[in-house]
Amino acid sequence: MPKFLDMDFKNKDVISINDFSKEELLHILKVARQMEQKPKGNLLKGKILATLFFEPSTRTRLSFTSAMEQLSGEVIGFSNANTTSIQKGESLWDTLKMTEQYADVIVIRHPLEGSARLAAEAASIPVINGGDGSNQHPTQTLLDLYTIQKVKGRLENLHIGFVGDLKYGRTVHSLVIALSHFNPTFYFIAPDELQIPENYLDELFRKKIKYFKTSDLNRFGKEIDILYVTRIQKERFPDPLEYEKFKGVYRIDNEFLQHAKKDMKIMHPLPRIDEIDKSVDSTQHAAYFEQAANGIPVRKALLALVLGKAK
Ligand code: CP
């Protein structure tokens, strides 16, 4: 998939954040702001979105559905592949060849890395990656960028901490790449076994981006502008006993916040398990519910752009 150099997103797939230039990311955020300020009721009338979810989801599937319906489009799909002919042995490829007959755009979530790319090759209509294994979650990244822009007023020159499962966390992988356009300083906070994969660090080194690695949550507390907290990704561990070793390893609570910058914001792609104490929800630091709500304007923008209904 080439870069969208001409800023024309019509009929494009949204598979990897690596496919987007800085200008394209900023353009999508601009369209999302327009969607939030002036929602256009009939923009997607007559269009059908197919949501193919081979893995559980609350936010991604429901916010895509809500975005489509708020713009008068319709939604078909499944949230459990066991109810489809995949169960009878139909391939992912054939499932996509069928779905393109019934819809104008597809959102797919699948446990296998690279599945969204395969889906895009199979289907002639736009395919949007709603998460492929531990690889990428580009639409989450766009709503993360949108949130950062809103809560900090800028994307440039921020100190961003990532804490939790940085090995399997696809939202971290996509966001690190996207933020690399904006001269960040990164703090990767994780047990050694769950640290950010080396290929991301190689990329940062190549781009001359400053980063620090530690397992100590408190080490850089005073420097961080945004703390991006993640769940330990239980479903990705090959050995369940390995997960037991790491569950509950970090917990953001009021005690931690005493040592943070006053205007530090906490983000989380959600769902959370126990890594953010509920008492944090009512503090000025919590941005994670607002972050989830931002999925609506951002996904409206993406749907409108790939369906050729926004420029
Ligand atoms: N952030 C996110 O992808 O949430 P869901 O798994 O609920 O879609």
Shared domain check, 142 and 111: no
Contact (CB, 8 A) for 159 and 219 = no
Residue-number span of the structural domain to which 154 is assigned: 138-293
| Residue at 2 is within a domain | no
Shared domain check, 147 and 85: no
Shared domain check, 154 and 57: no
Between the CA of 3 and the centroid of ligand 1 the distance, in Å, is 26
What pLDDT sits at residue 240? Answer: 86
Shared domain check, 118 and 148: no
What pLDDT sits at residue 6? Answer: 58
| Residue at 243 is within a domain | yes
What pLDDT sits at residue 39? Answer: 72
Q: Give residue for tokens 């592949």.
A: 81
Ligand 1 atom with the smallest distance to the CA of 63 is 8
Shared domain check, 205 and 79: no
Question: What is the 3-class SS of the chain, one letter each residue?
Answer: CCCCCCCCCCCCCECCHHHCCHHHHHHHHHHHHHHHHCCCCCCCCCCEEEEEECCCCCHHHHHHHHHHHHCCCEEEEECCHHHCHHHHCCCHHHHHHHHHHHCCEEEEEECCCCHHHHHHHHCCCCEEEEEECCCECHHHHHHHHHHHHHHHCCCCCCEEEEECCCCCCHHHHHHHHHHHHHCCEEEEECCHHHCCCHHHHHHHHHCCCEEEEECCCCCCHHHCCEEEECCCCHHHCCCHHHHHHHCCCCCECHHHHCCCCCCCEEECCCCCCCCECHHHHHCCCECHHHHHHCHHHHHHHHHHHHCCCCC
Rounded distance, CA 137 to CA 233, Å? 14
Query: Bridge-partner residues for 212, per DSSP?
Result: 187
What pLDDT sits at residue 1? Answer: 46
The catalytic residue positions are: 59-60, 88, 109, 137
Is the CB of 147 inside a 6 Å radius of any atom of ligand 1? no
Shared domain check, 246 and 144: yes
Is the CB of 57 inside a 6 Å radius of any atom of ligand 1? yes
The sheet carrying 127-132 orders its strands as: 74-78, 48-53, 105-110, 127-132
| Residue at 92 is within a domain | yes
pTM as predicted:
0.95
Does position 122 have pLDDT exceeding 60, yes or no?
yes
Please name the residues in contact with 103: beta carbons below 8 A apart, sequence gap of 6 or more.
48, 49, 50, 76, 125
**CATH assignment at residue 201:** 3.40.50.1370
Is the CB of 233 inside a 6 Å radius of any atom of ligand 1? no
Ligand 1 atom with the smallest distance to the CA of 109 is 8
Rounded distance, CA 159 to CA 184, Å? 6
The sheet carrying 185-189 orders its strands as: 210-214, 185-189, 159-163, 226-229, 265-267
pLDDT tens by residue, 28-57: 999 999 999 987 789 999 999 999 999 999
| Residue at 10 is within a domain | no
Shared domain check, 274 and 157: yes
| Residue at 1 is within a domain | no
Helix 138-152 × helix 22-37 angle, to 10°: 70
Nearest CA to ligand 1 atom 4: 59
Is the CB of 62 inside a 6 Å radius of any atom of ligand 1? no
pLDDT tens by residue, 154-169: 999 999 999 999 999 9
2: pLDDT confidence band, cut at 50, 70 and 90?
very low
Shared domain check, 173 and 153: yes
Shared domain check, 259 and 155: yes
| Residue at 174 is within a domain | yes
What pLDDT sits at residue 24? Answer: 96
Between the CA of 57 and the centroid of ligand 1 the distance, in Å, is 5
| Residue at 9 is within a domain | no
Shared domain check, 225 and 92: no
Shared domain check, 281 and 206: yes
pLDDT tens by residue, 200-255: 999 999 999 999 999 999 999 899 999 999 999 999 998 988 999 999 999 999 99
What pLDDT sits at residue 121? Answer: 98
| Residue at 98 is within a domain | yes
Averaged pLDDT score across all residues of the chain: 95
Number of domains in the chain: 2
Is the CB of 60 inside a 6 Å radius of any atom of ligand 1? yes
Shared domain check, 118 and 147: no
Does position 72 have pLDDT exceeding 70, yes or no?
yes
